[in-house]
């Protein structure tokens, strides 16, 4: 049994078990992603065209199938991550937690010791740093609501959309209070992911565990408790604590203390089933991963097959097909198009399955900016004697105007009823 505190080496002794560098790298990586996603057009919502832009494709909010698939993929990934890795997302990815830790570091760096042991907290420095971080995060948030170049232009000319400014200001206030006031208390008591994670955790969930069966090996150094920024006592982690972020700092501290003494760490990441040596699989994980795999496959297939131009043709119900005295049959249709790319498109139209001279488009050529929609009519005026009575199916095709001999960008079906 080791109990003499004189043997305690300094925290920071190099250990094979080093999570801090990997964790900082992961946290920084995800924070950088937050900043670059909209700026590089990887993901944002273009409020002017009411569509999402993802990897250079524009998805209109009317594309309900893709939205439902995307929502299921997101939900199942979050639940799977929560069951398997516990709150590792919070400790390793979440910017709220990371930025709160940054503020902790600032407090530590600027805190001054008064005569006694008590530290003087530099409120002015904390407030300034929190404001600066919150404003940067809130400004970047605006780029999630429009084409980045447009948002930037509006920003420097002070002509931002009122709703976006309100959203960004509310978001900035939430970030300020989250990282400056509530910090890890928000993570512990109010974070929706944390609440959901506690509800779905099972015996296979990864968590920190104190090796109670070897408790005499603990040298009572308190290094694990001192380093925990959410005020958990890791030695009491016989059962999972829903407030634990799985950050691994306490595990690393214990390794650093006990390794030089040739003693196995008292703290490690494990799961209930591994402790009890049970050979069980989580049914919930099986269900969520198979659902995730199935829906993700369909989502990827549909996403990469989104046509560059969305094309829909509908009959104008307010206009009844008419057989005119000169023997011509007349009908009206609507064409709806949307540019589903992030580049301007110059498009033309033609028909197949019915003579081209029967059709007159209101607009035969269109230039659409990214995400732009248009709706216009075309008229069908056909000599009835040239048509077979019954329902005639025909296609409306749209092409890239500069590429008229190549593959159509999209094809929509339409029909015409020819009376006897
Ligand atoms: S108990 Fe350990 S792993 Fe959990 S939050 Fe505290 S330091 Fe991180
Ligand atoms: S469990 Fe905590 S108190 Fe015990 S040896 Fe490890 S770091 Fe020190």
Q: What is the mean pLDDT of residues 359-378?
A: 90
246 pocket-lining for ligand 1 (C-beta < 6 Å): yes
Instruction: Tell me, yes or no, whether 239 lies in a domain.
Output: no
Q: How many domains does the chain have?
A: 2
Ligand 2 centre to CA of 229 (Å) is 16
Ligand 1 centre to CA of 241 (Å) is 9
Burial class (CB in 10 A: 0-12, 13-18, 19+), 227: middle
Q: Is the pLDDT of residue 101 over 90?
A: yes
pLDDT single digits (tens) 386-415: 888 888 899 999 999 988 677 899 999 998
Instruction: Tell me, yes or no, whether 374 lies in a domain.
Output: yes
258 pocket-lining for ligand 2 (C-beta < 6 Å): yes
Instruction: Examine the fold and report which residue of 302, 334, 366 is the final residue of a domain before the chain moves on.
Output: 302
231 pocket-lining for ligand 2 (C-beta < 6 Å): no
Residue 125 contacts residue 110 (beta carbons within 8 Å): yes
Q: What is the mean pLDDT of residues 314-321?
A: 79
Which residues, other chains included, contact 300 with Cβ-Cβ below 8 Å and sequence gap of 6+? Answer: none
* Angle at the Cα of 194 from the Cα atoms of 189 and 200, rounded to 5 degrees: 130
249 pocket-lining for ligand 1 (C-beta < 6 Å): yes
Residue 6 sits at φ, ψ, to 5 deg, of -65, -20
Instruction: Tell me, yes or no, whether 148 lies in a domain.
Output: yes
* Ligand 1: residue whose CA is nearest its atom 7: 228
Residue 208 contacts residue 237 (beta carbons within 8 Å): yes
Instruction: Tell me, yes or no, whether 243 lies in a domain.
Output: no
pLDDT band (50, 70, 90) for residue 22: very high
pLDDT band (50, 70, 90) for residue 163: confident
3-class SS of residue 344: coil
pLDDT band (50, 70, 90) for residue 176: very high
**Which region among 87-96, 247-256, 295-304, 311-320 has the lowest average model confidence (pLDDT)?**
311-320
- Residue 329 sits in a domain whose CATH number is 2.60.40.10
C-alpha torsion 275→276→280→281, nearest 10: -30
Instruction: Examine the fold and report which residue of 271, 302, 333 is the final residue of a domain before the chain moves on.
Output: 302
Domain shared by 69 and 36, yes or no: yes
Dist CA 63 CA 68 (whole Å): 9
Domain shared by 286 and 380, yes or no: no
Looking at residue 114, its pLDDT comes to 64
Looking at residue 208, its pLDDT comes to 93
Domain shared by 334 and 359, yes or no: yes
Q: What is the mean pLDDT of residues 252-272?
A: 91
The closest ligand to the CA of 258 turns out to be 2
Looking at residue 403, its pLDDT comes to 83
Looking at residue 404, its pLDDT comes to 65
**Which region among 119-123, 234-238, 270-274, 318-322 has the lowest average model confidence (pLDDT)?**
318-322
Instruction: Examine the fold and report which residue of 268, 302, 336 is the final residue of a domain before the chain moves on.
Output: 302
Q: What is the mean pLDDT of residues 93-98?
A: 95
Instruction: Tell me, yes or no, whether 257 lies in a domain.
Output: no
Instruction: Tell me, yes or no, whether 233 lies in a domain.
Output: no
Domain shared by 18 and 86, yes or no: yes
Quote the longest CA-to-CA distance of the chain: 110
Domain shared by 294 and 399, yes or no: no
206 pocket-lining for ligand 1 (C-beta < 6 Å): no
Ligand 2 centre to CA of 223 (Å) is 6
Instruction: Tell me, yes or no, whether 382 lies in a domain.
Output: yes
pLDDT single digits (tens) 272-302: 888 888 887 788 999 999 999 999 999 999 9
Looking at residue 6, its pLDDT comes to 40
Domain range for 171 is 5-201+281-302
pLDDT band (50, 70, 90) for residue 116: low
pLDDT single digits (tens) 118-140: 777 788 989 999 999 999 999 99
Ligand 1 centre to CA of 129 (Å) is 25
Q: Is the pLDDT of residue 216 over 60?
A: yes
**Which region among 8-12, 89-93, 160-164, 173-177 has the lowest average model confidence (pLDDT)?**
8-12
Domain shared by 297 and 340, yes or no: no
Average pLDDT of the chain? Answer: 88
Dist CA 259 CA 209 (whole Å): 17
Q: Tell me, yes or no, if the pTM score tops 0.85.
A: no
86 pocket-lining for ligand 1 (C-beta < 6 Å): no
Q: How many CA atoms lie within 13 A of 333 on its CB side?
A: 26
Q: How many CA atoms lie within 13 A of 161 on its CB side?
A: 16
Residue 415 sits at φ, ψ, to 5 deg, of -140, 160
Dist CA 131 CA 108 (whole Å): 18
Looking at residue 210, its pLDDT comes to 93
Domain shared by 195 and 60, yes or no: yes
Domain shared by 33 and 163, yes or no: yes
């Amino acid at each position: 049994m080791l109990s003499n505190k004189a043997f305690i080496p300094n925290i920071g002794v190099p250990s094979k078990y080093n999570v801090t560098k990997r964790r900082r790298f992961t946290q920084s990586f995800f924070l950088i992603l937050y900043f670059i996603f909209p700026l590089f057009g990887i993901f944002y919502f273009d409020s002017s065209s009411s569509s999402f832009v993802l990897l250079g494709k524009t998805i209109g909010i009317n594309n309900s199938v893709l939205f439902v698939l995307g929502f299921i993929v997101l939900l199942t990934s979050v639940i799977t991550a929560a069951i398997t890795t516990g709150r590792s997302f919070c400790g390793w990815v979440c910017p709220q937690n990371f930025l709160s830790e940054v503020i902790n570091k600032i407090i530590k760096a600027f805190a001054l010791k008064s005569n006694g042991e008590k530290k003087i907290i530099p409120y002015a420095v904390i407030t300034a740093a929190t404001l600066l971080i919150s404003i940067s995060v809130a400004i970047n948030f605006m780029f999630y609501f429009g084409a980045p170049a447009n948002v930037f232009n509006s920003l420097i000319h002070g002509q931002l959309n009122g709703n976006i400014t309100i959203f960004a200001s509310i978001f900035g206030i939430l970030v300020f209070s989250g990282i400056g006031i509530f910090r890890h208390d928000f993570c512990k008591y109010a974070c929706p992911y944390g609440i959901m994670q506690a509800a779905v955790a099972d015996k296979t969930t990864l968590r920190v565990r104190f090796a109670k069966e070897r408790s005499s090996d603990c040298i009572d150094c308190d290094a694990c408790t001192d380093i925990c920024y959410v005020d958990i006592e890791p030695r009491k982690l016989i059962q999972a604590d829903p407030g634990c972020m799985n950050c691994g700092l306490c595990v690393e501290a214990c390794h650093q203390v006990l390794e030089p003494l040739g003693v196995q760490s008292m703290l490690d990441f494990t799961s209930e089933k591994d402790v009890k040596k049970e050979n069980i699989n989580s049914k919930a994980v099986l269900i969520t991963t198979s659902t995730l795999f199935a829906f993700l496959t369909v989502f990827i297939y549909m996403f990469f097959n989104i046509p560059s131009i969305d094309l829909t043709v509908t009959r104008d119900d307010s206009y009844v097909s008419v057989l005119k005295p000169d023997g011509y049959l007349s009908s009206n249709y609507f064409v709806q198009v949307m540019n589903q790319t992030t580049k301007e498109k110059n498009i033309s139209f033609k028909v197949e399955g019915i003579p081209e001279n029967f059709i007159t488009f209101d607009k035969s050529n269109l230039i659409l900016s990214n995400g732009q929609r248009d709706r216009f009519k075309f008229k069908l005026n056909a000599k009835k004697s040239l048509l077979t009575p019954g329902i005639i199916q025909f296609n409306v095709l749209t092409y890239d105007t500069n590429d008229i001999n190549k593959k159509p960008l999209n094809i929509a079906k339409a029909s015409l009823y020819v009376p006897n």
